Chains A and B, each alone.
Chain A
Amino acid sequence: MIERLLAMHAASMLKRTLLRMGADDVIVLVDETKALQLKFANNLFSAVQSWSSADLEVFASVKKRCVSTTLKMLSADAVKQCAASIIEFAEALPPNDDFFGIARGPFRYRNIPGIYDSRISKISPDRIVAFVTDALKLSSSLGASRASGVLDVHSSSNFILTSGGVKTAERSTGVYLSIRAFTDKDASGHSLQAARTLHDFRPADSVKEAVHYAMLAASPKQGEAGKYDVLFTPLAVANLLDYLGSAASAFSVEAGLSCLAGKINKQVASDKLTFYDDATYPGGFGATNFDHEGVPTRRNKIIDRGVLKTYLHNTSTAEKYKTATTANAGLISPEPFNLVVEPGEGLFDEMVASIKHGLIVTNLWYTRFNNYEKGDFSAIPRDALLLVEDGKVKHSLRNLRISDNLLRVIRNIKAVGNKPAQIKAWEVETPVISPAVLVSGVTVTRPQ
């Protein structure tokens, strides 16, 4: 609490000092986080890690020259030195003609439900350890020969102060389990639980899913290249949707990192796909009350029944694109917070039954783009990869690669499941809430 008060005082002093020294816009973000991670491998704990940090991030513009820094020392002298360094640094730069200022508040905020749980911030060490030991016992009892993963618990306190009249704060918590169960060297299943409250945290569900897939993955055969209908489970499709969400940032559009450039109001996907960035999603792992300019967050429909409706903006990119901010400001560029696919009507088993010749992909990794603007990419199925023939799972496969185009994949969505899952994974940076998604005619390749 004392650190927080010190940081808030330093933030206030820094803002005043910077404005007095000639800054036009100032944003100060204070983030205080405590986190704990239990890492386990081969059914044993392999490390216990804990962190405690307080960061004071600063953004300032001086005559359209934009500078960011992080301040750790909170004394009056340190604040003055930091302000002087920012001004000196800014004066040495040419102007950023893409910068049009920050949002003007003050704003009213609604309190997003389900992003803070006081029980997590006070959780006992014994209970945290028990989450893992219980998960390992359950995975063994269900038939896994070994399991690896992490359990993370964190609580954060954030405060923002801007020259646009913003002064607000929020608290958040999170608890996360990632478990990869093995029934053999080549047979594994991976599942995750990402929750902001203990009420929403159901580790046993993830253990059961990971072991279930590990069982199905037993005795994999070499797969063949070709075209397949692919049913992506939530974990697998989240990997691709994370890239699609990033591609919606106006910054990505300009940097050559987006296959959505020039496609506003165009049909970019199947009409089965409605895709949001929703920082207000109750219990969303990336949900937050305000963006990094302090603008109240909202639900932004990026793709509506296949039609691209908007890019994600901060105040500056919105001005450039002659629209309003979508409240997606990061200090450098607009970013998605919490990506959401609108559930469809597909029952998982019915979607499997509808596949004549296809695959179930339960995890995807190492997605790399040959051309971000065109959307050409490849990615590798990991863990259980199942061959489906005439609506039935035949056996597991190995050693295949999805080599296709992101726009073609979303255009070929045949069905969207009715049961969303929240995903935050090692390779899914922005939290994604999505059901399983069935895509027709996906190109699959194999090595020589």
Chain B
Amino acid sequence: MVHPRPDESLADFALGIASQLGAGYCEVRIESTTSNGFILKNGVPQIAGFDRLSGISVRFVVDNALGFMATNHLDRAKLKSQLGKAVKITCLTASRSEKISLADEKSVHADYSVKEKEPLSGMKPREKLSILLDAEKAVLDTKANVPSRYLSLSDFVREKLFMNSEGSVIRSRIPRTSFNYLITVAHGDKSCQRYQQYGASGGFEALNPDLPAIMRSEVLAADNNLRSGRLPPEGNVDLICAPNVVGIMVHESVGHPYEADRILGREAAQAGESFVTKEMLNTRIGSEAVNVSDDPTLPSSFGLYLYDDEGVQARKKRLISKGIITEFLHNRETAASLGIKSNAASRAASFEHEPIIRMSNTFMEPGSFSEEELIEGVKLGVYIKNFMEWNIDDRRLNQKYVGSEAYLIKNGRLTTPVFKPMIEIDTPRLYSSIDAVAKNLEFSAGTCGKGEPMQGIPVTMGGPSIRLRNIRLAKSIPNDQ
């Protein structure tokens, strides 16, 4: 089915109507998205699906109040009618509205797309499903007891047209792929589960080509952990956290609390606020070894974009430099309130959502050590390769990470598996305990949730391995007993 390219004249029409209705600023996004999805449950293909969706949204400032409307009716008369109603009710809130001002930006004309070496549209449904079937086979070939396997694969291409009343016109086309699994590995009465998401932008070449090897490794490690895993050592020990764990740490306790809308209270009733205040800029939060960035421009990344959903050119943000808080994540509204320029962190999950401040690819910058050197520097500790359970409070201070694949370190060497080591720590202590950072930078994909209505948005999170000194490891809670 032919999918129409986002129509510039329709966006122009919406901008004109908004202006006639009194909007001082207006932006329009028109999107067309093509997607495919496949689910394999315990080796049986479940439902598969495809969608071709399109729609338009208009965001505007009228009487200093912020309004937004979205529809999948691309008919001009309906659009005009809905926009009229949206402006009217927004005006009614103006006397008790936050006075919206937006940081200045130059108008931009741009057109970019992410190249596909192996185009998503060129692969037949059966070939896509075979990716899942190959992963399933790799699991079964291990001969381990894996009573449930839930695998899914999706691909989607979003074509977007952004135009605003300041003259910006930005077209983009970003294809993405995503592979997810939840597996249960059992041994006797014990079991453990692993969930992981892989995602990238580009064609199918961007997805990790060796998913069967990844699955095999996951199952064998989990089986070994169930058979031979010991409880973590008592008291305070040193930790080596591998890239998968470092990624979730910096996403949860650096990226989120540095979102300026949370700092200013706009998400208080949803994702929460932040322990970080605007006064904490240029103050110490971690050791000299800690450098954390968010970079939407990383090629092939799941969180890639070159212009945000306010039309601001994307750039790398250095959130922590040598342990000092150096930058927050901003949109034009929060930037204006702090008297600075936006750093292009405004994203919407689709045309149906308002753009809000989001992460993209958030990671700890690599250091100069090898992972082996970090391990060699530990007399007694635990190496945590990946995790399953995690959470953090809504101000981003009190966090927990429970390791899945983990090993005891004795006298600088990895020894026996450790069963579910649990880190429960507050944010300043976490980042102050890091004394060395390796150079093995790796990323994991995720779908980050924020906003109301909820917006799940593609991100990556990563880092190299890091060493933390003097950390208390809690024992995991035993299963239902």
Chain A residues within 8 Å of B, Cβ to Cβ: 3, 36-39, 41-55, 59, 66-70, 72, 78, 81-82, 85, 89, 92-98, 125-126, 128-129, 132-133, 136, 146, 148-150, 178-180, 182, 188, 190, 251, 254-257, 259, 331-332, 365-380, 382, 399, 401, 403-405, 407-408, 426, 443, 445-448
| A408 smallest CB distance to B (angstroms) | 6
Using known A-B contacts A256-B147, A448-B429, determine if residue A48 contacts B393 with beta carbons closer than 8 Å.
no
Q: Provide the residues of chain B in CB contact with A447, threshold 8 Å.
A: 397-400, 424-426, 429
In-complex Cβ contact of A92 among B89, B125, B424 (8 A):
B125
Cβ of B472 within 8 Å of any chain A Cβ, yes or no, is yes
- Residue contacts A-B, CB under 8 angstroms, 17 given: A43-B96, A48-B65, A50-B68, A52-B78, A59-B47, A68-B48, A70-B53, A97-B44, A128-B89, A148-B265, A178-B452, A190-B269, A254-B41, A369-B193, A373-B148, A373-B191, A448-B424
Complex contact A81–B1 (CB within 8 A): yes
Closest to B479 in A: A374
Complex contact A366–B393 (CB within 8 A): yes
Complex contact B93–A51 (CB within 8 A): no
B266-316 residues at the A interface, CB under 8 angstroms: 266-272
Complex contact A68–B391 (CB within 8 A): no
Cβ of B354 within 8 Å of any chain A Cβ, yes or no, is yes
Q: Provide the residues of chain A in CB contact with B89, threshold 8 Å.
A: 36, 48, 50, 125, 128-129
Q: Provide the residues of chain A in CB contact with B453, threshold 8 Å.
A: 37
Complex contact A51–B67 (CB within 8 A): no
Cβ of B231 within 8 Å of any chain A Cβ, yes or no, is no
Complex contact A49–B68 (CB within 8 A): yes
Cβ of B129 within 8 Å of any chain A Cβ, yes or no, is yes
Complex contact B394–A41 (CB within 8 A): no
Q: Provide the residues of chain A in CB contact with B184, threshold 8 Å.
A: 256, 371, 373
| A427 smallest CB distance to B (angstroms) | 9
In-complex Cβ contact of A96 among B46, B50, B267, B270 (8 A):
B46
Cβ of B143 within 8 Å of any chain A Cβ, yes or no, is no
Q: Provide the residues of chain A in CB contact with B411, threshold 8 Å.
A: none
Complex contact B476–A370 (CB within 8 A): yes
CA distance A52 to B268 in the complex (A): 26
Using known A-B contacts A371-B191, A399-B393, determine if residue A448 contacts B472 with beta carbons closer than 8 Å.
yes
Complex contact B452–A380 (CB within 8 A): no
In-complex Cβ contact of B193 among A98, A372, A401, A445 (8 A):
A372
CA distance A208 to B477 in the complex (A): 37
> Counting chain A CB atoms within 10 Å of each CB, which of B73, B269, B394, B453 scores highest?
B269
Cβ of B90 within 8 Å of any chain A Cβ, yes or no, is yes
Q: Provide the residues of chain B in CB contact with A92, threshold 8 Å.
A: 124-126
Complex contact B49–A68 (CB within 8 A): yes
CA distance A366 to B253 in the complex (A): 14
CA distance A401 to B71 in the complex (A): 41
Q: Provide the residues of chain B in CB contact with A380, threshold 8 Å.
A: 391-394, 398
Cβ of B70 within 8 Å of any chain A Cβ, yes or no, is yes
CA distance A382 to B269 in the complex (A): 11
| B229 smallest CB distance to A (angstroms) | 14
B62-104 residues at the A interface, CB under 8 angstroms: 65-73, 78, 82, 85-86, 88-90, 92-93, 96-98
Complex contact A45–B72 (CB within 8 A): no
Complex contact A332–B47 (CB within 8 A): yes
Using known A-B contacts A41-B98, A41-B268, A380-B391, determine if residue A375 contacts B480 with beta carbons closer than 8 Å.
yes
Nearest first, the 9 closest Cβ-Cβ pairs linking A and B are A256-B148, A370-B389, A148-B268, A366-B391, A68-B49, A45-B93, A374-B479, A92-B125, A180-B269
Q: Provide the residues of chain A in CB contact with B391, threshold 8 Å.
A: 366-368, 378-380, 401
Contact with A along B402-441 (1 / 0, CB 8 A): 1000000000000000001000111001000000000000
CA distance A95 to B129 in the complex (A): 12
Complex contact A39–B452 (CB within 8 A): yes
Q: Provide the residues of chain A in CB contact with B474, threshold 8 Å.
A: 445
Q: Provide the residues of chain A in CB contact with B108, threshold 8 Å.
A: none
Using known A-B contacts A41-B266, A97-B44, A366-B393, determine if residue A129 contacts B53 with beta carbons closer than 8 Å.
no
Chain B residues within 8 Å of A, Cβ to Cβ: 1, 39, 41-42, 44-55, 65-73, 78, 82, 85-86, 88-90, 92-93, 96-98, 124-126, 129, 147-150, 182-184, 191-193, 264-272, 352, 354, 388-394, 397-400, 402, 420, 424-426, 429, 452-454, 471-472, 474, 476-477, 479-481
CA distance A128 to B182 in the complex (A): 43
Complex contact A146–B54 (CB within 8 A): no
Complex contact B44–A46 (CB within 8 A): no
Closest to A52 in B: B71
Complex contact B426–A256 (CB within 8 A): no
Using known A-B contacts A54-B72, A129-B92, A426-B269, determine if residue A445 contacts B424 with beta carbons closer than 8 Å.
yes
CA distance A66 to B44 in the complex (A): 12
CA distance A259 to B78 in the complex (A): 48
Complex contact A332–B93 (CB within 8 A): no
Complex contact A42–B265 (CB within 8 A): yes
Using known A-B contacts A51-B70, A405-B480, determine if residue A45 contacts B47 with beta carbons closer than 8 Å.
no
CA distance A195 to B132 in the complex (A): 42
In-complex Cβ contact of B50 among A89, A255, A375, A376 (8 A):
A89
Q: Provide the residues of chain A in CB contact with B148, threshold 8 Å.
A: 254-256, 373
Contacts beyond the supplied A44-B96, A48-B86: 5 A-B pairs with Cβ under 8 Å:
A44-B98, A68-B49, A69-B50, A70-B51, A126-B92
Q: Provide the residues of chain B in CB contact with A408, threshold 8 Å.
A: 480-481
Closest to B126 in A: A92
Q: Provide the residues of chain A in CB contact with B402, threshold 8 Å.
A: 370
Closest to B87 in A: A48
Q: Provide the residues of chain B in CB contact with A47, threshold 8 Å.
A: 66-68, 354
Q: Provide the residues of chain B in CB contact with A370, threshold 8 Å.
A: 193, 388-389, 402, 420, 476
Q: Provide the residues of chain B in CB contact with A445, threshold 8 Å.
A: 400, 424, 474
CA distance A1 to B1 in the complex (A): 27
Closest to A97 in B: B44
CA distance A373 to B89 in the complex (A): 48
Using known A-B contacts A256-B184, A370-B389, determine if residue A48 contacts B398 with beta carbons closer than 8 Å.
no
| A165 smallest CB distance to B (angstroms) | 22
Using known A-B contacts A129-B92, A366-B391, A373-B193, determine if residue A150 contacts B452 with beta carbons closer than 8 Å.
yes
CA distance A321 to B50 in the complex (A): 29
Complex contact A46–B397 (CB within 8 A): no
Q: Provide the residues of chain A in CB contact with B397, threshold 8 Å.
A: 399, 447
Q: Provide the residues of chain A in CB contact with B149, threshold 8 Å.
A: 256
| B398 smallest CB distance to A (angstroms) | 5
| A60 smallest CB distance to B (angstroms) | 10
| B37 smallest CB distance to A (angstroms) | 9
Q: Provide the residues of chain A in CB contact with B398, threshold 8 Å.
A: 380, 399, 401, 446-447
Complex contact A45–B96 (CB within 8 A): yes
> Counting chain B CB atoms within 10 Å of each CB, which of A48, A373, A374 scores highest?
A48
CA distance A344 to B53 in the complex (A): 47
Q: Provide the residues of chain B in CB contact with A89, threshold 8 Å.
A: 48, 50, 125
